[in-house]
């Protein structure tokens, strides 16, 4: 079933623009980043790059950003007002119902503990019925979100996991898939298009989302520790602090680009091959690598991802105190 029927089909109203209305409930840092990516891509300078065969048939052309405070409203206006398409965005303060009624697609970007209150507010169930609801709320499964909605108000819930790098359009977004209820092509194309505005996208079965949370959601913090440690070593040897951080960051950036497209024909390259390419026999790199191996850095990093996966799973079950001391 397609959840992207236009308003003429759903309500009998005529919509001459053919575009979709996208409403962001809880437009915080991530919501602003996603809207910014969309608005930027639809500017006259970027439209050409988006005219590809994978683009959805209908794109968002009207936007609602729902916030609670004056500060959030001002921030949204300040950060999104630079884009040409900003004229098609309305900021709603302490008002979720009307923008949800107007929406074809709803992006749920609030804090996880607020979801129940928002979705169960008066009139919201009816406003969401039959529409596409995309959740970026960490830890909440599709089933948990559906539990807040009655079966008579059926909507299609899609879970997506972008990460903090969305702020610089370098997010790794994971979209959950359900083999027994796959997305129709139009909906899949739209969801993928939305998140490719802020970086790269991959699809994973829902059962893998906790591990993806650990790798992509917690991963930036793990990488930050590594980069800080590398820079600290250089600082200890006399490199100025600011220069050391810049060099560590750019070194990591270059390495990620090599992993993504440094192989033959611009294809991805395995990290072990890249490591060997810079490990000259008897050189400084292999000497440093042996120190890392002796310290068990590889196993420790892998364990960190596994631990974060377990914690994400337990948080999703509603447990508390899950980061207590373990045997």
pLDDT in tens, 254-290: 999 999 999 999 999 999 999 999 999 999 999 999 9
- What is the Cα–Cα distance from 327 to 324, expressed in whole angstroms? 10
Mean pLDDT for 118-128 is: 93
pLDDT of 14: 43
- What is the Cα–Cα distance from 107 to 100, expressed in whole angstroms? 10
* Assigned CATH topology for domain 212-314: ProC C-terminal domain-like fold (1.10.3730)
CATH 3.40.50.720 domain residues, the chain:
20-43+53-209
Most confident range, picked from 112-116, 145-149, 240-244: 240-244
Q: Which one, of 118, 60, 66, lies nearest residue 90 by Cα?
A: 66
Percent of the chain exceeding pLDDT 90 equals 76
pLDDT of 55: 80
Of the pLDDT bands very low, low, confident and very high (cuts 50, 70, 90), residue 315 is confident
Q: Which one, of 87, 83, 84, lies nearest residue 33 by Cα?
A: 83
Mean pLDDT for 183-204 is: 95
pLDDT of 178: 87
Sign of CA pseudo-dihedral 83, 88, 94, 96: negative
* Core vs surface per residue 13-51: b (16+ CB within 10 A) or e: eebeeebbbbbbbbbbebbbbbbbbbbbbbeeeeeeeee
Which of 10-14, 130-134, 202-206, 207-211 shows the lowest per-residue confidence on average (mean pLDDT)?
A: 10-14
Of the pLDDT bands very low, low, confident and very high (cuts 50, 70, 90), residue 50 is very low
Mean pLDDT for 95-113 is: 95
pLDDT of 11: 45
More confident residue, 125 or 6: 125
90: helix, strand or coil? strand
Q: How far apart are the first and last CA of the chain?
A: 48
Residue 51 pLDDT more than 60?
Answer: no
C-beta separation of 59 from 19 below 8 A: yes
CATH 1.10.3730.10 domain residues, the chain:
212-314
pLDDT of 150: 72
DSSP code per residue over 24-39: EES-SHHHHHHHHHHH
pTM exceeds 0.85, yes or no: yes
- Taking CA atoms, 86 is separated from 48, 56, 184, 196, 252, in Å, by 19, 21, 30, 19, 34
- What is the Cα–Cα distance from 327 to 325, expressed in whole angstroms? 7
DSSP code per residue over 231-282: HHHHHHTT--HHHHHHHHHHHHHHHHHHHHH-SGGG----HHHHHHHT--TT
Burial of 293 (0-12, 13-18, 19+ CB in 10 A): exposed
Query: 1-29: per-residue pLDDT in tens?
Result: 555 654 445 444 445 457 999 999 999 99
More confident residue, 247 or 4: 247
C-beta separation of 204 from 172 below 8 A: no
CATH number of 20-43+53-209: 3.40.50.720
pLDDT of 2: 58
């Amino acid at each position: 079933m397609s959840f992207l029927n236009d308003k003429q089909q759903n309500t009998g109203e005529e919509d001459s623009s053919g575009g979709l209305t996208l409403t962001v409930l809880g437009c915080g840092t991530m919501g602003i980043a996603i809207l910014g990516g969309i608005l930027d891509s639809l500017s006259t300078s970027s439209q050409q790059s988006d005219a590809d065969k994978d683009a959805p048939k209908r794109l968002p052309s009207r936007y609602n950003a729902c916030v609670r405070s004056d500060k959030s409203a001002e921030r949204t206006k300040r950060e999104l007002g630079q884009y040409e398409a900003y004229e098609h965005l309305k900021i709603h303060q302490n008002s979720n119902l009307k923008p949800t009624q107007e929406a074809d697609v709803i992006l749920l970007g609030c804090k996880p503990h607020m979801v129940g209150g928002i979705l169960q507010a008066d009139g919201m169930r009816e406003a969401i019925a039959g529409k596409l609801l995309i959740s970026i709320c960490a830890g909440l499964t599709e089933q948990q979100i559906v539990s807040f909605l009655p079966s008579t108000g059926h909507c299609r819930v899609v879970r997506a996991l972008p990460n903090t790098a969305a702020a610089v359009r370098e997010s790794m977004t994971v979209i959950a898939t359900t083999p027994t209820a796959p997305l129709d092509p139009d909906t899949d194309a739209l969801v993928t298009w939305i998140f490719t505005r802020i970086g790269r996208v991959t699809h994973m079965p829902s059962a893998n989302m906790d591990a993806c949370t650990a790798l992509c959601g917690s991963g930036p913090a793990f990488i930050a520790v590594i980069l800080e440690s590398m820079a600290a070593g250089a600082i200890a040897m006399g490199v100025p602090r600011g220069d050391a951080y810049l060099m560590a960051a750019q070194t990591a950036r270059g390495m990620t680009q090599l992993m993504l497209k440094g192989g033959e024909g611009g294809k991805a390259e395995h990290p072990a091959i890249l490591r060997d390419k810079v490990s000259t026999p008897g050189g400084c790199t292999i000497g440093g690598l042996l120190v890392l191996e002796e310290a068990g850095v590889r196993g420790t990093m892998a364990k960190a991802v596994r631990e974060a996966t377990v914690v994400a799973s337990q948080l999703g079950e509603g447990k508390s105190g899950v980061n207590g001391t373990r045997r």
